[in-house]
Amino acid sequence: MGTHESMMIPVTNGETVVGVKYRSLDKKLWSEKGSCLDYLLNWQNITDFDYLVIVEGEIDLLSALEAGVENTVSLPSGATNIKCIKTQKNWLSKFQKIIIATDDDEAGIEARKRIVYELRDLLIPLYKTYFYKKKDINEVLVKSGKDKVYKYLLESCTQIKTGFRNFKIDDGGYNYYGGEETVRVSNFLVEVEAFSENFLIGKSINNGRERKFKARISELLSIKGIAENMGVYLASPSTIPKFIDWLKEENQEKYIEEIDYYGIRNDKYYDEDSEVVCDKRDLKITKLSEIESLTQEDKEWLEKNLFYMRSDINQSLLGICWALGRFHTQGTYPILEVSGTTSIGKTEYVEFISRLLFGGRENIKSLSTLSNHQIRSFSSCSNITPWAIDEVKITGKFQLEKMNDLYSTIRSVYDNKVINQGNTTNKLTEFHLCSPLIISGETKLSDVSIQNRMISTNLTKKNKGDFEIYKKLKNTDILEKLGKVALMDRLKNGVIVTDSKILDKVKDERQLYNLNCLLKGLKALSRVLKIDMSVITNFVSFLNTDFSKEYTTTDNFIELLKLVEDAGIEDLESFYVSTPNEHWARFQLLYTAIDEQKRKTNSTLELLDMKTLRKQLIEEEFIVSNSEVKKIKDSFTGEAKTYKIAKFKIIK
């Protein structure tokens, strides 16, 4: 308290006290002679610039501080004098938002309007608050308590529309009006065509020259980013966020949805013609608008010839049904494996199947050239259009090591996993692995963990298709036309439901799911083309027979045993014997021999760690005894010694 039982209030410019104000208990106000009251009260104590609350008087200031609203200042002379707002405009420009909480009477409302007018060009969000039949903050504190003060000031505010445009077109570019000065921003203009949460699309115009751009908004928040997409930015980098926000505000009606990948989403199909933003451009996807309608002549030709793309109709249908089934199955989807020797038409087969889903040869990539990042990027472009990993051929250590990454990719793509890539210093990139995948090459993949995640074709020189059919498929867009009709049918009539009970011989649940995807594709094909019932019956029988065998750890192990048996190891019988009457091994020595032969032959067969392999072989009852002993002649000394052996099931 000061003299005359009054409260003394210092006014500071941040360095020295430039004025002293007094308030008596009976609310009389006066100040020291020569005092300068051009600064907000309490401003010198604020260090956090997230928000600022401006109140009308010192009692309201104390009330707000008592309620925990620390970033509060007050006008030094009540509602009639807002000169302090002009004096401290640069300081006020530092805040993320400003809440004007003057009294809810005529003088307070007028003061708020004048403050808004002074601050309108800062491009800072301005807010007003209501006291709900109470005059000011002090009355709210007295009658309703601290929580209500906090709520009214920080949680129940309404943004004020200032109507001020900081950026204006002038002489073929933009000027920025900030504070008292006008700054030249650019010598180019921008026509916004569309924008989303993260992208801005349009064209910049400089001296009549147009320059199209599609850029991430985060990339535009720098001088370099603006230069690479629009042109030279002349103003301070600090004004760029305001410039981008202003462009979006001026074109609010051009906001469009942003999607993570192309394809079918919520029963709608999206490609580059759709009114959406998608950043996935790695795959070549033919737009529906570029595909002509399927004519009656086209349809008749397809009904007569499509199934003979390979001379073995079932091999043709495997790929065709795999493609069309994708229209009716979102999420988990089998990988199509196309393996075989050279000159059997693998690449053409992959191309034709891809084109049914609007892809093509451009989406076939060589395994040896792919990084993990590229694999993830290609796998997250479209949940309809596939891509293919080609030249899967094990020729050395490098490729063998790469196969482990490939197996991991196959499992992740099959399950449609979402993978994050990055580190603690860079923003994580999210990959939704939704794109259908085709694996093509000379090496047939034999890893146990992926066998029932794939549909494998059997292409040979003997089942190559007719050359005239090949030319028609190669040189026309008839496959794209068929795919378009099948897609339109899916969008119009909904998802096909099939009954996999007809595949009663298939016991593996995952493989049964995969084949059900093919049955959906077969039914989708029959909605478009007439298919002879004998073709359908034969194909279903083929699926039921050829995919009925479960590929187990035991099956894989038997193939590994063949590597050892065929290696011509001199002392093989000292640790492994397989005859019609007995089948046993010294397991650790056998495992070592298998590992050595696997590396020597570059085999893609999976070899689990020894402990896990032994455990699974016991569970599958291939190891019938793991504790027997046997006298075995030592290959070096010729003496018989007793060793512990694993007794295997006899292979017939």
Average pLDDT, the chain: 88
Task: Please count the other Cβ atoms lying within 10 Å of the Cβ belonging to residue 4.
Answer: 10
Backbone torsions φ then ψ of 177, nearest 5 degrees: -105, 100
- Residues 480, 358 contacting (CB under 8 angstroms): yes
- pLDDT tens per residue, range 181-198: 678 999 999 999 999 999
193: Cβ contacts below 8 Å, ≥ 6 apart? 201, 202, 203, 254
- pLDDT tens per residue, range 313-327: 999 999 999 999 999
Rounded distance, CA 602 to CA 422, Å?
32
Look up residue 17 and give its amino acid: V
Residue 104 has pLDDT above 70, yes or no: yes
Which residue has 């979006």 as its token pair? 248
Q: Which of 170-184, 249-263, 532-546 has the lowest mean pLDDT?
A: 170-184
Which pLDDT score, from 0 to 100, does residue 31 have? 66
Look up residue 275 and give its amino acid: E
Rounded distance, CA 606 to CA 604, Å?
6
Residue 254 has pLDDT above 80, yes or no: yes
Helix (H) or strand (E) run with residue 534 in it: helix 533-546
Helices (H), 379-508: 397-414, 448-451, 467-475, 478-493
Which pLDDT score, from 0 to 100, does residue 32 have? 67
Rounded distance, CA 8 to CA 162, Å?
36
Residue 162 has pLDDT above 80, yes or no: no
Residue 22 has pLDDT above 80, yes or no: no
Q: Which of 339-343, 401-405, 589-593 has the lowest mean pLDDT?
A: 401-405
More confident residue, 213 or 640: 213
Nearest to 336 by CA among 436, 263, 434: 436
- pLDDT tens per residue, range 185-231: 999 999 999 999 999 999 999 998 999 999 999 999 999 999 999 99
Which pLDDT score, from 0 to 100, does residue 161 have? 72
Order of all β-strands in the sheet with 437-441:
364-366, 387-390, 437-441, 335-339, 454-456
More confident residue, 77 or 536: 536
In sequence order, the β-bridge partners of residue 263 are 270
Helices (H), 326-466: 346-356, 372-378, 397-414, 448-451
Nearest to 37 by CA among 17, 59, 61, 15: 17
pLDDT band per the 50, 70, 90 thresholds, residue 178: low
pLDDT band per the 50, 70, 90 thresholds, residue 77: confident
CATH topology of domain 38-160: Dna Topoisomerase Vi A Subunit; Chain: A, domain 2 (3.40.1360)
More confident residue, 450 or 467: 467
Rounded distance, CA 393 to CA 443, Å?
5
Look up residue 40 and give its amino acid: L
Backbone torsions φ then ψ of 632, nearest 5 degrees: -125, 135
Rounded distance, CA 316 to CA 463, Å?
10
Q: Which of 73-82, 243-252, 507-516 has the lowest mean pLDDT?
A: 73-82
Which pLDDT score, from 0 to 100, does residue 551 have? 77
Which pLDDT score, from 0 to 100, does residue 34 have? 63
What value, to the nearest 5°, has the Cα angle with vertex 598 and ends 597 and 604? 155
Nearest to 104 by CA among 129, 82, 141: 129
User: What does the DSSP 8-state code read for residue 175?
Assistant: E
Which pLDDT score, from 0 to 100, does residue 10 have? 84
In the chain, domain spans: 1-36, 38-160, 167-254, 302-546, 553-648
pLDDT band per the 50, 70, 90 thresholds, residue 1: very low
Question: CA 455, 460, 466, 472 torsion: positive or negative?
Answer: positive
Percentage of the chain beyond pLDDT 70 is: 92
Q: Which of 155-169, 317-331, 556-570 has the lowest mean pLDDT?
A: 155-169
pLDDT band per the 50, 70, 90 thresholds, residue 424: very low
- Residues 408, 442 contacting (CB under 8 angstroms): no
Which pLDDT score, from 0 to 100, does residue 501 have? 87
Q: Which of 6-10, 49-53, 149-153 has the lowest mean pLDDT?
A: 6-10
Residue 430 has pLDDT above 70, yes or no: yes
Average pLDDT over residues 384-409: 74
pLDDT band per the 50, 70, 90 thresholds, residue 99: very high
185: Cβ contacts below 8 Å, ≥ 6 apart? 167, 173, 174, 175, 176, 233, 234, 235, 239, 243
What CATH number is given for 302-546 in this structure? 3.40.50.300
By DSSP bridging, strand 98-101 and strand 126-129 are: parallel
User: Tokens for 411?
Assistant: 């499992």
pTM (predicted TM-score)? 0.67
Which pLDDT score, from 0 to 100, does residue 422 have? 59
- pLDDT tens per residue, range 331-362: 899 999 998 888 899 999 999 999 999 999 99
